[in-house]
Structure 1
Amino acid sequence: MGMTQVTTLECTLCGAEYDPNRIIYTCPEHEGVKGILEVTYDYDAIDDAFDGDLGGPIASQWKYEAFLPVAADADIVTLNEGGTDLFDAPNLSAALGVETLVKDDGRNPTGCFKDRASAIAVTKAKHAGRDIITCASTGNAAASLSGYAARGGMDCRIFVPGDAPTGKLAQPLVYGADVLAVNGNYDEAYDLSVEVTEKYGWYNRNAAINPFQVEGKRTVGHELADQSIARGHVPDWVVFSMGDGCTIAGAWKGFKEFYDLGYVDDHPKMLGVQAEGASAIHDAFHNHEDIDDIAETLADSIAVGRPRNTIKACRALEQSGGTSVLVSDEEILEAETLLGSTEGIYSEPAGAAPIAGVQTALDRGIIEQDETVVVVSTGFGLKDTKSAEKATGGVDRIDPEIAEVEGLYGTAEEAAADD
């Protein structure tokens, strides 16, 4: 049974259309993997089918099943991804000087935002009768896909750059995946995964080329719109870090769908944040002539030199009236400790980069102090403890003597007097 709400797959470059029920990754009219496809929908059919309680609780992303490109007779593979909290962040707001909320997608089942896409990938791969699923990843998508493949009873084979954080490699190994660490960077691992897909016929979950992965990611936009209804106002800005570009593209698509359908009466501007050492989407958006395709940043999740979804990401920034900024690795680490020390939310560097981006945007007058900002933290901090150690002063080592404590904090009497 097909997907009645999906109308076609449309090439973002030339507009050619393809059958959405066929396994196709990119438009064959273009060399390499440039012809990224866009999933288009019959929104009247979706509106008729969607019966979610808008402004009500969100148990998981499957509250928005009517919007998702999954056949009605498919067995859904899920670990209850999505439905993540949108936290008021008064301490962070005071530190930044602007009202800020945090959507903590590091609380997803494998600890990152990409679970929203992996659930779709494994569900579709199983429905298509595939046994083996693959992807290239800087770490998070690999861990995410591995967990969902295990849940769905599929074999998983993933390609990661050799310098991926060890915490992110341990996770997919526990999930039973074959982890192939490529002696090269993410882009080389990516190219190899595409070649393997063509030769072996494995199902490829790479969000940048598998058109249905962005569609899972757009549930974060649905949720933010839904949570805006519950709160009674739409934020002025929603802030994401950008690597391949599909996350911010998906989030904007989801929010815009709710706006176009009249479920919400306004939409936010999107702010995309990239590391200075991996700035290709930012450079393309601002028409910089010198675009460097070498990625060098400690925020490994966004260390992408040749983003495949630049068109969709730039479209999200432009359509929403938003923009992009660059931040340094040092600013990203400071943002990680700021988020943790103000609100108790532990984020990996790429998940903290939006906070550094808000600071930069405030300094440059892009964000006004009377506006409301939502930052989306996309990954849990335990995935990259080495960066966290760099970001902090480390532990204080002391002997088991009260005098050592007094040396740090003064005597108990002095402390009481200070209170």
Structure 2
Amino acid sequence: MALDHVETLECTVCGATYDPDQIIYTCPEHDGVAGILEVVYDYDVIHDRFDAPLDGDIRSQWKYQAFLPVDTEATPVALNEGGTDLLDTPRLGAELGVDINVKNDGRNPTGCFKDRATSVAVTKARHAGQDVVTCASTGNAAASLAGYAARAGLDCRIFVPESAPEGKLVQPRVYGADVLAVAGSYDEAYDLSMDVTDSYGWYNRNAAINPFQIEGKRTVGHELAEQTQDSIPDWVVFSMGDGCTIAGCWKGLREFAELGYVDDTPKMLGVQPEGASAIHDAFHGHDEVDDVADTLADAVAVGRPRNTLKACRALAESGGTALTVTDDDILAAETLLGRAEGIYAEPAGAAPIAGIRRAREQGIISRDESVVAVVTGIGLKDTAGAERAVGDVIRIEPTLDDVTNQYGTAKKERRGRS
């Protein structure tokens, strides 16, 4: 085994350490999933191995393989994940009153950010000789895991809440996964997936507890650090569900700054729907937390986030903050992103845009600051949500008169030769 760049797995609660070569999800010294584990690295080894130039040429996240917690002898299970463009979005910026760029991770192989984590998880599962992979999901992780399991030749069994969008459940079935719709919430589907993992020994991809999932997600931080090295943004904005995505990005950004690859780090802004605000509430010290999620942004509809500690730590260490937005705000942001820049995001992917608008209104982000918003999923994941935000199709007869009634008399243009 060649995993010498990983020193240990450390409990975020009690500091107990565990062998990174074993399959372990949480610290057994704690009830439930309170003992989330952190991957601790030997950065001297990583620095010696990482010789890729920071030239902005990012073909995939595996450019940063030296940072990933996989055996150097393992063959990556990859579908060209990561390496997403950072887009200049001036029309969106004019609408929001801020200098903004968008990193569109909806362009990942299965249409969502989660492919970054799944590639690492399935690589580790296959290298460890596992035959079956599983997770709980509201749809995106299900499709992601199913796609990569198919790529690796592994069986895949997914647990989803019965309320998951039907459109999201077709994709994993096309990839050949068994999709088990649980008569209950996401949290109940999650708990069942954990029970099954304990009973059957299937490899569990659940990003909330699998310590290696955040490590794949942190490549977005590496990419952003490289892509913005000449002009570090003031803010990076994510929607938050379980909390591991924003925590992973911050870890990647912080690593590149601490290693001296870039000069500074941005502040992190975490955005949650009002109906699923547990991390926001914890960060701001609210005592009472509603553990029942109620939001149309199903990808972040998490009532009991398992990575609250890591997410809050990322917000605090970066000097950032968290805020909430309404579902109506999210729908408005989805259509704004589409009509202003031609980017089609699912509701959770559009939530950062709603959050930036709210942050501008509250004075959290000022006009002279720069912002990067990360879109985490393509809108084709949830067309039903988008239908609520747009008008009906305009129906006409197949006649020019009906077009004229709609748009007025046509103006003919003469074209001459110069």
* TM-score grouping bracket, smaller chain normalisation: over 0.9
Structure 1 segment 25-174 matched on structure 2, within 5 A: 25-174=25-174
Aligned to 2:363: 365
Displacement of 1:2 in angstroms is 3.5
1:37-60 CA-partner distances (Å, limit 9, x unpaired)? 000000111111101111330000
Letter in 1 for 2:275: G
Aligned twin of 1:268 = 266
Q: Name the CA distance, whole Å, in 2 between partners of 1:311 and 1:331.
A: 27
Distance 2:41 2:385 in 1: 41
Distance 2:402 2:412 in 1: 15
Q: CA deviation at 1:414?
A: 10
Q: Determine the structure 2 residue equivalent to 1:338.
A: 336
Partner in structure 1 of residue 351 of structure 2:
353
User: How far apart are 1:13 and its partner, in Å?
Assistant: 0.6
Structure 1 runs of 4+ off > 2 angstroms? 413-416
Task: Verify the 8 A CA contact 1:133 1:156 in the aligned structure 2.
Answer: yes
| Equivalent AA in structure 2 for residue 15 of structure 1 | G
Cα drift, residue 415 of structure 1: 11
Give the drift of 1:289: 1.4
Equivalent residue in structure 2 for 1:290, among 281, 288, 300 = 288
The CA distance in 2 between the partners of 1:338 and 1:414, in whole Å, is 32
Aligned residue for 2:212, secondary structure, equals helix
Letter in 2 for 1:181: A
2:202 corresponds in structure 1 to: 202
Contact 1:221 1:254 in 2 (8 A): yes
**Counterpart secondary structure, 1:338:** helix
Q: Which residue of the partner structure matches residue 325 of structure 2?
A: 327
Q: Which amino acid aligns with 2:173?
A: L
* 1:107-137 CA-partner distances (Å, limit 9, x unpaired): 0000000000000111000111100000000
| 1-structure distance, mates of 2:56, 2:328 | 39
Whether the aligned pair in 2 keeps the contact of 1:55 and 1:228 (CA below 8 Å) is: no
Mapped partners of 1:343, 1:75: distance in 2: 37
Q: Give ranges in structure 2 of 5+ residues lacking alignment.
A: none
**TM-score, with structure 1 as normaliser:** 0.98
Deviations for 1:375-404, whole angstroms, at most 9, x for unmatched residues?
000000001000111110121111112222
The 2-side partners of 1:221 and 1:211 are apart by 17
Write the distance in 2 (CA, Å) between the matches of 1:311 and 1:100: 28
Aligned residues: 414
Residues 409 and 415 in structure 1, CA contact (< 8 A), matched pair in contact too: no
Report what 2:311 is aligned to.
313
1:244 aligns with 2:242: yes
Is 1:18 paired with 2:18? Answer: yes
From 352, 375, 385, the equivalent of 2:383 is 385
Q: Deviations over 1:312-364 (max 9, x none)?
A: 00000000000001000000000000001000010000000000000000000
Find the aligned partners of 1:107 and 1:252 in 2 and give their Cα distance: 21
1:100–1:374 Cα contact (<8 Å) kept: yes
In the alignment, the residues of structure 1 paired with residue 110 and residue 395 of structure 2 have an alpha-carbon distance, to the nearest angstrom, of 33
Calculate the aligned-residue CA RMSD, in Å.
1.1
TM-score, reference length from structure 2: 0.98
Cross-structure match for 2:176: 176
Q: Are 2:325 and 1:301 aligned?
A: no
Amino acid at match of 1:335: A
- Tell me the amino acid that sits aligned with residue 159 of structure 1: F
Query: In 2, Cα distance between the equivalents of 1:92 and 1:307?
Result: 31
Instruction: State how far apart, in whole Å, the 2-side matches of 1:3 and 1:113 are.
Output: 25
State the distance in 2 between where 1:169 and 1:109 align. 16
Q: Which amino acid aligns with 1:304?
A: V
Letter in 2 for 1:371: E
Residues 246 and 312 in structure 1, CA contact (< 8 A), matched pair in contact too: yes
Question: Which residue in 2 is equivalent to 1:400?
Answer: 398
Letter in 2 for 1:138: T
| Whole-angstrom CA distance in 2 between matches of 1:75 and 1:289 | 46
- What runs of 5+ residues in structure 1 fail to find an aligned partner? none
Determine the C-alpha separation between the residues in 1 that align with 2:401 and 2:280.
53
- Give the letter aligned to residue 49 of structure 1: R
* Identity value in percent: 71
